[in-house]
Amino acid sequence: MKTDWTNEKEKKVFWKYRFLLTFRVIRVIVALLFLYGIYMMFLSIGYHKTNLDNKHEYLMNLAMDWTQAGNYGDFEPHSTGEITPFFSQKLSFPLYKTIGKEEKLIGNVHVTKRVITSFSTKEIEYVNPADSKAFHFYLPEDPRTGKSLKLSDSDDVWNSLEKVHEGTVANFAFSTTRYFEPKELLQLLAKYDVDVLWMPLYAGELKDIKDVGYSQAGGSYLSVETLGLSKARYTEDYLSYSELLIDKDKIEENEKLMLSNMEMLLQNESKTYVEHLLGLRYLQERHDYLEKNGFKVYGAVITGPVKEILKLKELDVIQGVQLGEFDYWNWVE
């Protein structure tokens, strides 16, 4: 029996196979999405179970403490970090500065650690562009020649402090005309009602570390890329941690903890990770210099009442003074 093939029958067959094909494609997509969801669930669980998120955030905060001249991150155990399907680790945490006795949010740090660490990125997103301005510190002598360097300070900073109302607090930075042991500088500042937040360390720059970054203007000043002594963080499991603020009676413990944290990084992390992502260049050389020669500082970042900071003008060992940000009175005697 012969069946006539019509356009109507052709359309029915076409739509039937189109429907079946669409259904199969949708079924494949749903299956792939299901498998992807299972894959990401196990990947995320494994990521958090291995504690890589907390570890990465803790190490990033250490680096910020040492390099940000008084600014610091906020490490919260049980991190909200995440891992991507291609094993990139992403995390963000807030960045603060202290003015008086209060913390001020100045930005957020965004980090992406990729499988190939050299392609990793770190970015600081500031709330106010003015907060990106960093303090600078100047060596008291040229390490290459031993020649003393003396800055000619203007009175602008001191005049500004004199004009500000006494019910105000500020942060402030200065360099020194010679090297100090940290405890020695803290004892010098002890008679002033201020808090010390950070101190630039001399760790062999331009002497043992020849090619470190630096800036210089004739024989008037010399500034080098350096690390600083800050509050100390320490942890055993990255699930909890403790802090030790800068204090003249405990500063030796602070120094030991900094060396210990340096050793932990050098022993357990790749050089690319330490230098490229954490931004801790020449960490091995700096650790070795500090371990052999001890800690020497040549300035500080401090905070306190403006009239108390103004009293530092009487110290003939400070130079390169810089004024940071003001805030309303929040000081506790």
DSSP code per residue over 82-148 = EE-TT--EEEEEEEEEEETTEEEEEEEEEEEE-SSGGG-EEEEEESSGGGG-------SB-TTT--B
Angle (nearest 5°) at CA 300 between 299 and 303: 150
What was the pLDDT predicted at 11? 66
How far apart are alpha carbons 72 and 209 in whole angstroms? 26
What was the pLDDT predicted at 184? 97
- Residues lower than pLDDT 70 in the chain: 1-16, 77-79, 218-219, 333
Label the pairing between strands 102-113 and 121-126: antiparallel
How far apart are alpha carbons 218 and 147 in whole angstroms? 12
CA distances from 171 to 138, 147, 283, 302 (A): 18, 30, 28, 6
Say which DSSP state 314 is in.
Answer: G
What is this structure's pTM? 0.86
How far apart are alpha carbons 217 and 62 in whole angstroms? 32
What was the pLDDT predicted at 220? 75
User: Encoding tokens for residue 194?
Assistant: 């201020």
Give the containing element (helix H, strand E) for 261: helix 251-268
Tens of pLDDT, residues 236-267: 888 878 889 999 999 999 999 999 999 999 99
Task: Tell which phi-psi region holds residue 82, choosing left (phi > 0), alpha (psi between -120 and 50) or beta.
Answer: beta
> Do residues 329 and 169 make contact, with C-beta atoms less than 8 angstroms apart?
yes
What was the pLDDT predicted at 289? 97
What was the pLDDT predicted at 202? 97
User: Encoding tokens for residue 319?
Assistant: 């130079």
